[in-house]
Amino acid sequence: MTPPARLIPVLILPLFLLRGADESDVILKAMQDELARSSSLRVVNLDAPYYVEYRVEDATVLSVNATLGGLLNSTQSEMRIPGVRIRVGDYKFDNTDHVYSDFYGGTRYDSDRLPLENDYVSLRQALWLSTDRAYKAASEAIARKRAALKSVNLPEQLPDFSKIEPARSVQPVRRINVNEGQWTNRTVRLSEIFENYPRILSSGVEFQSIQSTDYLVTSEGTVLRYPENLAYFRVRALAQAPDGTPVRDAAVFQAFDINGLPSETELRRGVAALAADITALSEAPQGDAYDGPVLFEAQAAAQLFAQLLGDNLKITRKPVAEPGRPLPYSESELENRIGSRILPEWMDVVDDPTQTEWRGHTLFGNYQFDMEGVSPKPLTLVEKGVLKSFLLTRTPALKSFENSNGRGRMPGSYGARSAGFGNLFVRAAQTTPSADLKKKLLDLCKQRNRPYGLLVRKLDYPSSASVDELRRIAAAMSQSGGGTRPVSLPIQVYRVYPGGKEELIRGMRFRGLSTRSLKDILAASDENAVYDFIDNPAPFALMGAGAFVTNASVIAPGILFEELELEPVQQEVPKPPIVPPPPLSGATQ
């Protein structure tokens, strides 16, 4: 019988971890002291840790939900969320990049929360228990990986982790006073607006203020403490067309903190506009199959670039799998296209998280450090239409792209982080006035003998669909010849007739739209839109999915395609309610 593992601590405190830190911060001190102990652990019969990471999110959260003037809940809470990661082996070969790298099947003694009190002893104890579990999981994972590699040949050998220069930044801890009653009342008042729109079946307004101080200390010498705040109003509503087809839409107003949110007057205008749009959509005719010119206005173009281009620039590494077992992995459409033209020659794409504003607009995608402690720099992704680089984390995914560029922004799979962009600038050297671009759409329709063209004003991205609906959409699009990765549904689509008349239609989806379609962009507008949104690791950046979100912006012009294909969404639809609704206060009968 194998003797039990014994922890043999070597108590040497690295001075570089302690020098210059904020000694008054109990959380930081507990993290550093426990890290100093854990980094030098040696365990009999097990691989030694070569990398130890402690992360803590110390957050104060106010969350309010209301519908039709009724308060659903109002909660103010504090939480401290720990994250401990241990890598055993070395930078070339460790416990990550295996299909079970994130799996731990043993008894768990640690909690997913740290004590709220600044008690040094209890914080150290909690971190120790998390370290113990993380070490056990890492040791099991590297053993499984070695066993799997006895039966699997890898096409190329990449290191499992890249080295970086340690970062040190201990910034002040600040909190803004958030009046719970004031923001609760505002949320309730905004939800009352839907009382004036009886065609809407369900609606809700959600307010959330997250004030967080993020901590990161690693055995490499990184010591970070910095703010990560977010405040938003998320408004969602659903109606039904006469044939029973559900129609929905959402609006999100976000900022880094409550002081950056729009005034209540502006919010009311935004909520009323959303309610009017959904009402109009419920009364619009069903769209027909279409193959022809399509114009994306700037906001819709920014949403398209965020998903179609941005998501495919996030390169992930295919993990080692157990022989004969299916592998849940989806590769990027752009993975093997470095040096290829993916956009017109007159278009560039740059991700620049260091920018804080653009033409007076505060950019939501600004950040100082990614989740791996790497500070980002401006990155040219596409130059003159040619793909030059990817969004990279510290987990090498391709040869020649083995170093992080500071884009490890979200939790990932198989022991790695997931990449994300900050401020994605899509720039066109050749532009056309927006009015002329619409005229060009109609000219193309005339040349191709089409009775109308299509104009897309808004996509469902991030998606406000339910999880079940999202699954049905993705499955249906894959079966109908869609791109490698399904694209979000267009919510606001208009037929544009000769003379400029616009007619709203509903129930459409793209067919065959993929990254390969982008090189066929015919023209771009001289007007750009800034699209700020809350990103997350879920498909279609599904609203409310997962426990982790991050901030992003896309700055893009409107774009014209000479030919795209759209088709009606074919799905079973629920029957409209058979019981008449009660009268709504203020509703027009």
Per-residue pLDDT tens for 429-470? 999 999 999 999 999 999 999 999 999 999 999 999 888 777
Shared domain check, 339 and 237: no
- Single-letter amino acid code for the residue at 489: L
As for how many domains the chain has, the answer is 3
Give the confidence band of 476 by pLDDT, cuts at 50, 70, 90: low
Single out the residue in 108, 141, 170 at which a domain terminates.
170
Residue 14 has pLDDT above 70, yes or no: no
pLDDT band for position 151 (50/70/90)?
A: confident
Residue 5 pLDDT: 34
pLDDT at residue 477 above 70?
no
Whether residue 583 is contained in a domain is answered as: no
In this structure, what are the phi and psi dihedrals at residue 258, rounded to the nearest 5 degrees? -65, -25
CA separation for the pair 460, 487 (Å, rounded): 9
Residue 241 falls inside a structural domain = yes
- The mean pLDDT of the chain is 90
In a domain, 576, yes or no: no
Give ∠ CA 145-149-155 in degrees, rounded to 5.
120
Please list, in sequence order, all residues whose beta carbon lies within 8 angstroms of the beta carbon of residue 457, skipping any fewer than 6 positions away.
297, 299, 300, 492, 493, 494
- The confidence band for 478, taking pLDDT boundaries of 50, 70 and 90, is low
Q: Tell me, yes or no, whether 355 and 504 share the same domain.
A: yes
- Domain of 302 in residue numbering reads as 290-314+334-568
Q: Are residues 363 and 278 in the same domain?
A: no
Most confident stretch, 43-47, 323-327, 422-426:
422-426
Say yes or no to pLDDT of 110 above 80.
Answer: yes
pLDDT the model gives residue 578: 77
For residue 3, the model assigns a pLDDT of 34
pTM for this predicted structure: 0.92
Q: Which residues, 6+ apart, have CB-to-CB distance to 189 below 8 Å?
A: 69, 264
Distance CA 368, CA 378 (A): 12
Give yes or no: residues 411 and 384 share one domain. Answer: yes
Same domain (yes/no): 279, 306? no
Positive or negative torsion for Cα 251, 257, 258, 263: negative
Both 560 and 419 in one domain: the answer is yes
Torsion of CA 144, 391, 464, 77, to 10 degrees: 70
From 117, 152, 170, give the residue that closes a domain: 170
The predicted structure's pLDDT at residue 16 = 40
Q: Let me know whether 145 and 89 are in one domain.
A: yes
Mean pLDDT is lowest, of 82-96, 227-241, 303-317, 536-550, for 536-550
Residue 230 or 40, more confident: 230
At 105, is the pLDDT very low, low, confident or very high (cuts 50, 70, 90)? confident
Q: Are residues 137 and 215 in the same domain?
A: no
Domain final residue, candidates 131, 150, 170? 170
Mean pLDDT of 227-256: 95
* CATH code, domain carrying 215: 3.30.2290.10
Percent of the chain with pLDDT over 90: 76
276 found inside a domain: yes
- pLDDT value of position 484: 60
Asked if the structure places residue 2 within a domain, the reply is no
Our CA dihedral for 41, 45, 50, 56, rounded to 10 degrees, sits at -60
pLDDT at 581: 79
Tell me: the pLDDT tens digits for 316-361? 888 888 777 777 778 899 999 999 999 999 999 999 999 999 999 9
Cis-peptide, bond into residue 581, ω within 30° of zero: no
| Band of pLDDT at residue 309, cut at 50, 70 and 90 | very high
Residue matched to tokens 């699997």: 152
Asked if 231 and 298 sit in the same domain, the reply is no
Cβ atoms within 10 Å of 112's Cβ, excluding its own: 11
Question: SS in 3 state form for 368-421?
Answer: CCCCCCCCCCCEEEEECCEECCCECCCCCCECCECCCCCCEEEECCCCCEEECC
557 and 459 part of one domain: yes
User: Does a structural domain hold residue 88?
Assistant: yes
Judgement on whether residues 165 and 185 belong to the same structural domain of the protein: no
Euclidean distance between CA atoms 307 and 535, whole angstroms: 10
Instruction: Please compute the mean of the pLDDT values over residues 388-393 and round it to a whole number.
Output: 97
Cβ density class 404-432: b for 16+ within 10 Å, e for less = bbbbbbbbbbbbbbbbbbbbbbbbbeebb
State whether 111 and 163 are in the same domain: yes
In a domain, 425, yes or no: yes
Token representation of residue 256: 């880094």
Q: Could you tell me if residue 319 is inside a domain?
A: no
CA–CA gap between residue 27 and residue 117 (Å, rounded): 10
